Amino acid sequence: MLTETSSGQDSRRSSVSESEIAHFSALAEDWWNPRGPMAPLHAMNPLRTEWVSRHVAPLRKASSGPLSLLDIGCGAGLASEAYAKLGFNTLGIDASAAGIRAAEAHLAAHPLPPEAASLSYRNGSAEDLVAEGARFDVVNALEVIEHVNDPQDFLIMLATLTKPGGMVAVSTLNRTPRSFAVAKLGAEYLLRMLPVGTHDWKKFIKPDELAAMARRAGLRMLDIAGMSYVPFQWRESRDTGINYIAIFRKD
């Protein structure tokens, strides 16, 4: 998709926010530290990846081999490694070169078990894959959409990268007073669970907004669940007031 720049020249619209990439690149070396700045993602990761795996079971039953899965905005590969261990042929892609270097270094130091599916990484943008005509059974974007330039364009791109009948998984944060108090003020400023500046509350997305944008992108929501933090662990819940995850089908 093309857009007009302030100089009057055409340029290719990108989902990548350079400021966001710089912010997360600075965290890359400590990404795999379960007590470091990405500790909340370490804790949340099993819930997210197992929820997605469970919801794409119908695709697995209809497939003669492992499903292909694209993990967009993979960072240093927390979810990507988990998906490969769950049996998906996984490609993790991220615009942060530092993040991909950390992902590849961790994989080299901690090889996947023999029963895992394939895993590879790529430094680049999802737009690169669109230009190449790449398509996947499952497209995964966890805690990414609240960091992109245009969420509607981003969902269109996710749909474009998905095979007909395939599925798209998105997790993000709801834009509510409670999420501002807990996920922004509490997590970043009071408890210091996340680095200050990790989130912009104005870019959080309400579930009905996400569903509407998905419909315009040709995606149909199949299920949605809250992700709630209870003492010492994350659990699936009906409470979507802060963190939530949704699964869509491309019909």
Could you list the residues known to form a binding site for S-adenosyl-L-methionine, using ranges.
48, 73, 94, 142
- Angle at Cα 167 formed by Cα 93 and Cα 247, nearest 5°? 100
| Sequence-distant (≥ 6) Cβ neighbours of residue 59 within 8 angstroms | 67, 137, 138, 165, 166, 167
**Helix (H/G/I), strand (E/B), else coil: 126:** helix
d(CA 234, CA 226): 10
Q: For strands 136-142 and 162-173, give the pairing.
A: parallel
Strand-pair partners of 72:
93
Residues 160, 41: Cα–Cα separation, whole Å: 27
Question: What one-character-per-residue DSSP string does 141-162 give?
Answer: EES-GGGSS-HHHHHHHHHHTE
Backbone angles phi, psi at 78, to 5 degrees: -55, -55
CB contact at 8 A, 86 and 55: no
148 vs 145: CA distance, rounded Å: 5
User: Of 87, 84, 117, 86, which is closest to residue 103 (Cα–Cα)?
Assistant: 84
Give the residue numbers of the binding site: 48, 73, 94, 142
